[in-house]
């Protein structure tokens, strides 16, 4: 049985004061009925881990470099994230792919580095609006999934997040049928490549997940949780999404 996962990506938002939202989330969900992950900016990872303590909420990074160390000014390695207390790291987010030109090969290398450091890699895939409109969604997802996911991926090392690029931050959400089509396709691809282990790899939906639409999304085929952006910044909104996932 795959354990449901609610993951919050704070992106480039948050200072020390923002950790009050994490504390409020902890008070509201001291023993969540699903796995909960918060990925704050790198500047907050150590403080977030200290704030969480032994509570069952995980802290992750938003990106890592594929190298373990070296002359890469401004970058952070997977080993450094683990040393700061992180348990997960997001790789291949559409904003990284678009803003920093990250290829599938780079994302795969980052996921491999994450696994080598003992982190769970949350690997993001997703199509643009033009690709959706041209009917190329599954072709794009299949290519990104194959190119970005390392060989030997397991349910313990890997999470896949489907994020339709055209829905992120736009307020637009695919229909439940469209979400199911992509998630079912991803599951089929994972089974074809990894066999029985493909049943253990969780698939999250990410793209304007909010309290008002979370329950419907979580009831959709092969949706094992969500990668949440803006709605994860407040305990009230993210807590409502966690509630929906607990009841899914």
Q: What CATH number is attached to the domain comprising 179?
A: 3.20.20.70
pLDDT tens-digit map of 160-185: 999 999 987 777 779 999 999 999 99
Structure tokens belonging to residue 102 = 């990250």
User: Which one of 21, 127, 131, 163 is the catalytic residue?
Assistant: 163
pLDDT tens-digit map of 4-49: 999 999 999 999 999 999 999 999 999 999 999 999 999 999 999 9
**Given a cut of 90, is residue 1 above it in pLDDT?**
no
Q: Say whether 95 is catalytic.
A: no
Q: Say whether 163 is catalytic.
A: yes
In the prediction, which pLDDT does 202 show?
Answer: 98
pLDDT tens-digit map of 88-137: 999 999 999 999 999 999 999 999 999 999 999 999 999 999 999 999 99
pTM above 0.95, yes or no: yes
How far, in Å, CA of 208 to CA of 139, rounded? 23
Contact (Cβ atoms closer than 8 angstroms) between residue 14 and residue 44: yes
Residue-number span of the structural domain to which 128 is assigned: 5-246
User: What's the domain count of the chain?
Assistant: 1
How far, in Å, CA of 136 to CA of 141, rounded? 9
User: Which one of 35, 93, 95, 189 is the catalytic residue?
Assistant: 93
């Amino acid at each position: 049985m795959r354990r449901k996962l609610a993951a919050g990506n704070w992106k480039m938002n948050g200072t020390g004061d923002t950790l009050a939202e994490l504390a409020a989330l902890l008070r509201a969900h001291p023993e969540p009925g699903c796995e909960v992950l918060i990925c704050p900016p790198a500047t907050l990872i150590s403080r977030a881990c200290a704030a969480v303590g032994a509570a069952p909420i995980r802290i992750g990074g938003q990106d890592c470099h594929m190298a373990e160390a070296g002359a890469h000014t401004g970058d952070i390695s997977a080993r450094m994230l683990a040393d700061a207390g992180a348990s997960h790291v997001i790789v291949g987010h559409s904003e990284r792919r678009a803003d920093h030109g990250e290829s599938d090969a780079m994302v795969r290398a980052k996921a491999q580095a994450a696994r080598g450091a003992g982190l769970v890699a949350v690997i993001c895939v997703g199509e643009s609006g033009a690709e959706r409109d041209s009917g190329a969604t599954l072709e794009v997802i299949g290519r990104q999934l194959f190119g970005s996911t390392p060989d030997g991926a397991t349910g313990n090392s890997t999470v896949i997040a489907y994020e339709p690029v055209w829905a992120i931050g736009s307020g637009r959400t695919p229909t439940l049928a469209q979400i199911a089509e992509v998630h079912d396709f991803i599951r089929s691809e994972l089974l074809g490549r990894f066999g029985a282990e493909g049943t253990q790899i969780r698939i999250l939906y990410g793209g304007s997940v909010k309290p008002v639409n979370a329950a419907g999304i979580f009831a959709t085929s092969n949706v094992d949780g969500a990668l949440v952006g803006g709605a994860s910044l407040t305990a009230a909104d993210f807590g409502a999404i966690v509630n929906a996932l607990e009841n899914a």
